[in-house]
Structure 1
Amino acid sequence: MKKYTIKEASEMLILPKATLRYYDQLELVVPQRANNGYRYYTEQDIRHLQYTEVMKISGFTLMEIKQVLDFKRECNIKNFPSLLQIMIDKKDDLLKRIELYDSMVRFIDQASELMKNKKSPSDMDKIDKLISDVYRSMTGGNNN
């Protein structure tokens, strides 16, 4: 089985070596150690680091990621209900972010069109209204 030095893992994953050391310190992904103290990452460690980066982008905290990786490594069924709830909550958060980003893209499209075809000062008022609509969707409220 191929093993990677911290330098190789860092380059492969485009992650700073300091990040890999930090993950080791948190016991998120713990590479094997040689007699000389050097870290060596297995293919499975690389996969777990990929999990970590994808889940971070998805909004998981490092501790939540640790729970997922621990579950994956140990298949500890007693942690399943809380882990499942974390996954459901993250999915809901992602869907809300997608909705927000969609409204922001619509704002940019509409504002760009208004700016391109600006015919009257009232067009700027329309842009102000668009930004208010996006802000309301961001905050979930009816603020002006």
Structure 2
Amino acid sequence: MRISEVTAHSGVPATTLRYYEQLDLIRSTRTTNGYRDYAPEVLERLSFIGVAKKMDLDLEQIKWLLDVTETGTCTNTRDALHPVLTERLREVEDSIRKLEELRVVLASSLEHVATCPDSSEPCQSECAFKSLA
């Protein structure tokens, strides 16, 4: 398949395909006239990359996982993927906890700001954040 066909089937822009090729995430051969020629399996790799990106894995991790799946068995892939996903889940849960704490702080500050009385006096910078003190 030519790059335009891969783009049409996968929805991945040509610039991204070239970048993935530079990183050796996907491979192509060159035709005699210099066009990139991709094997049909590239669509499966792009799908894998897309799912891994949805899990917010970085491209280095994705390349490693692609190498594992390419050279190993399903058991090897599972055993390699499990700790990566476990760590990623821990990171997400930590982020959710921090965001929940932030939500509480913002809600409290919003409530405080909404109840500030009108005044013609200069506002004190700490006024909006008084509830946090």
TM-score strictly above 0.5? yes
Count matched residues: 124
Partner residue in 1 for 2:93: 95
Alignment of 1:10-89 (within 5 A): 10-31=7-28, 33-42=30-39, 44-75=41-72, 83-89=81-87
Unaligned stretches of 5+ residues in structure 2? 118-125
Partner residue in 1 for 2:120: none
1:124 to 110, 125, 128: 128
Instruction: Return the alpha-carbon distance in structure 2 between the equivalents of residues 123 and 11 of structure 1.
Output: 55
Deviates more, 1:36-45 or 1:85-94: 36-45
> Quick one: structure 1 residues 15 and 103, their matched pair in 2 at CA, closer, same or farther if it must change by over 3 Å?
farther
Q: Give the residue type in structure 1 aligned to 2:129.
A: D
Unaligned stretches of 5+ residues in structure 1? 130-143
Instruction: Return the alpha-carbon distance in structure 2 between the equivalents of residues 55 and 25 of structure 1.
Output: 18
Identity across the alignment (%): 24
Any runs of at least 4 consecutive aligned residues in structure 1 with deviations exceeding 6 A, and if so which?
77-80
TM-score, scaled relative to structure 1: 0.58
Instruction: Return the alpha-carbon distance in structure 2 between the equivalents of residues 52 and 24 of structure 1.
Output: 12
In our comparison, the structure showing a higher alpha carbon Rg is 2
Instruction: Return the alpha-carbon distance in structure 1 between the equivalents of residues 109 and 36 of structure 2.
Output: 51
